[in-house]
């Protein structure tokens, strides 16, 4: 199925989802606004437990933007949204009709990402391409045997970026399934280098640049014909 991939655009005040569309939002994690009032007490407690102020602030902004984005689709005030959590912490909207949007949130460094679908499970990840990261140590701990072999097959010049491509796709895939990295033998498949591919004939994955030095990945259990990308957060008029 051909995929129409839009450029990053200013988002509409009231975005509309269709069965064959995925909406992908990116937003900076710095904000001059006070956003704590949009979060519930559980979220604020999580932020307080983060010892590094910059990381705590990024968490607050990411959760607030998630609430604002979902509020646009639902025509609800962001602070009124309720969430349930799966065994590995995957959030879902609570107290709404069964056709409520599905979503996934990720943030790293200066950027956050949120993917939204019309009820189809979705996972998203974003990572900063850190030239100082000991990626071989992480791969040894978190990658399956075959994934480590694929990593080593890349040229030394490309190996670091290849690591981030595998890492973001695996993270997005596990988040879409509602799992975590606890099982290193979970293997995303043999076609890591392609622009998009399936896993076991069911999961569709795609890598994409988020911003300079930031790589993202999206995981869905089916192919889609339209990926609309929205940049920034602009409150409705």
In a domain, 153, yes or no: no
Q: Residue 37 contacts by C-beta under 8 Å, 6 or more apart in sequence?
A: 79
> Model confidence over 179-198: pLDDT tens digits?
876 655 577 765 545 556 66
In a domain, 30, yes or no: yes
In a domain, 162, yes or no: no
Distance, in Å, from the CA atom of 182 to the CA atom of 173, rounded to the nearest integer, reads: 14
In a domain, 79, yes or no: yes
Q: How many structural domains does the chain have?
A: 1
- The residue with tokens 């640049």 is 209
In a domain, 115, yes or no: yes
Residue 3: predicted pLDDT: 77
Residue 59: predicted pLDDT: 97
In a domain, 161, yes or no: no
Domain that holds residue 56: 4-129+197-231
Residue 210 has pLDDT above 60, yes or no: yes
Mean per-residue pLDDT for 114-139?
Answer: 95
In a domain, 211, yes or no: yes
Mean per-residue pLDDT for 158-180?
Answer: 91
Predicted TM-score (pTM) of the model is: 0.92
- The residue among 205 and 196 whose pLDDT is bigger is 205
Residue 61: predicted pLDDT: 97
In a domain, 184, yes or no: no
CATH number at residue 27: 3.90.470.20
């Amino acid at each position: 199925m051909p995929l129409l991939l839009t450029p990053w655009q200013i988002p509409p005040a009231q975005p509309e989802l269709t069965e064959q569309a995925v909406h992908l939002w990116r937003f900076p994690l710095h904000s001059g606004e006070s956003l704590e009032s949009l979060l519930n007490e559980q979220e604020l407690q999580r932020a307080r437990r983060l010892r590094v102020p910059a990381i705590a602030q990024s968490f607050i902004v990411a959760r607030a933007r998630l609430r604002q984005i979902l509020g646009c689709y639902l025509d609800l005030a962001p602070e009124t949204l309720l969430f349930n959590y799966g065994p590995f912490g995957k959030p879902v909207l609570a107290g709404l009709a069964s056709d409520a949007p599905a979503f996934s949130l990720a943030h790293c460094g200066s950027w956050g990402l949120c993917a939204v679908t019309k009820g189809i499970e979705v996972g998203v990840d974003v990572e900063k391409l850190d030239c100082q990261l000991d990626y071989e140590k992480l791969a040894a701990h978190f990658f399956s045997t075959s994934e480590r072999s694929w990593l080593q097959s890349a040229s030394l010049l490309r190996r670091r970026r290849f690591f981030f491509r595998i890492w973001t796709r695996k993270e997005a895939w596990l988040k879409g399934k509602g799992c975590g990295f606890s099982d290193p033998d979970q293997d995303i498949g043999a076609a890591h280098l392609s622009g998009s591919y399936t896993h076991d004939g069911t999961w569709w994955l795609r890598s994409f640049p988020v911003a300079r030095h930031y790589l993202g990945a999206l995981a869905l259990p089916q192919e889609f014909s339209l990926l609309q990308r929205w940049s920034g957060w602009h409150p409705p008029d």
